[in-house]
Every structure is written in structure tokens, then in C-alpha cells.
Amino acid sequence: MMDIRAMITENTIEFDADLKTREEVLEHISEILVKNNRANNKEVIFNGFLQREKEGTTGIGLQLAIPHCKEEDILEPTIVYITLKNPIDWDSLDEKPVKVVIGLAIPKKYEGTLHLEILSALASNLMEDDFKDKLFKINNKEELINFLYKNL
């Protein structure tokens, strides 16, 4: 069972981030992880995210990207939620720019289980317009944590 409240905290949520490229976003996520003692090595994590993007875009469409990284240097499963001040190109499947990024950082030991559970929960919920609309409108950290807790 995933514990959403342990994975996402007010420190791993950022609204209106002024980032211009996919690389800047991935680097920013890596910084947030290290700053909050959720990961050890920013470079390793950043490269993990980049490597995953090379395998195929995590821009799933609907103006949303779900980059994910599984590394030994990740200390605990973490969700980083970022809304962008200006939409950016992410090479998304629907070719639309991305406004919301949900970064998943998973310790290597949970590879193949936990991140798939989270991705699957997100994917099925995102099929519901209601879920996506609410997710995109929330601009309060506590409200966002409660919303994800109830819905994932």
C-alpha cells in the first residue's frame, strides 16, 4: 500500500515555477530531492531522469509530464509536484506543451513495484476529466496533498 502522505510533502510541491526547459525542470526536481534529504546525489538523480526521457518522453499528454527515476541514491519514495508559470515543450505524446509536472523518485529497491503502482493510479485517475480539472486548479499545498491522498 502506498503512503502518499509520506511521499509528497509541502517541501516537494511548488506552484508557478519559472522554468524554461524540460532539462531545467528535471534539474530542479533533483535539487528539491537532495535539499529535502530524499536523495543523495543531485547529478546521479538528474542523469537518471535524463536517461529515462531518452528511452521515451514522459510527457503523457493533457499538458502533463510524469518524469520518473529509479536510483540507489534515492533514499525514500518521493513525489515532486510542480506547476509551471509558462507551459514548456516536453516532446509530449499529444505535442502540447506541459503545465504540470509530477516527478517520481523511487529507490532502486522498489523498482518494478511502487513506481508502477503510482503510475497506474495516476493514469487511471487522469482519464477522469474531473480529477484532472481539480488537480490543475489546486494552488494550496495542503489541499493538494489531501486530494492526492484521497484519490491515489
Among 38, 68, 99, 115, the active-site one is 68
| Whether 28 is catalytic | no
Spell out a b/e string for 61-76, using b for 16 or more CB atoms within 10 Å of the CB, else e: ebbbbbbbbbbebbee
Bridging pattern class, strands 68-71 and 64-65:
unpaired
User: What's the CA gap between 62 and 99, in Å, rounded?
Assistant: 9
Which residues are CB-contacts of 10 (< 8 A; sequence separation ≥ 6)?
141, 142, 145
Residues with active-site annotation:
68
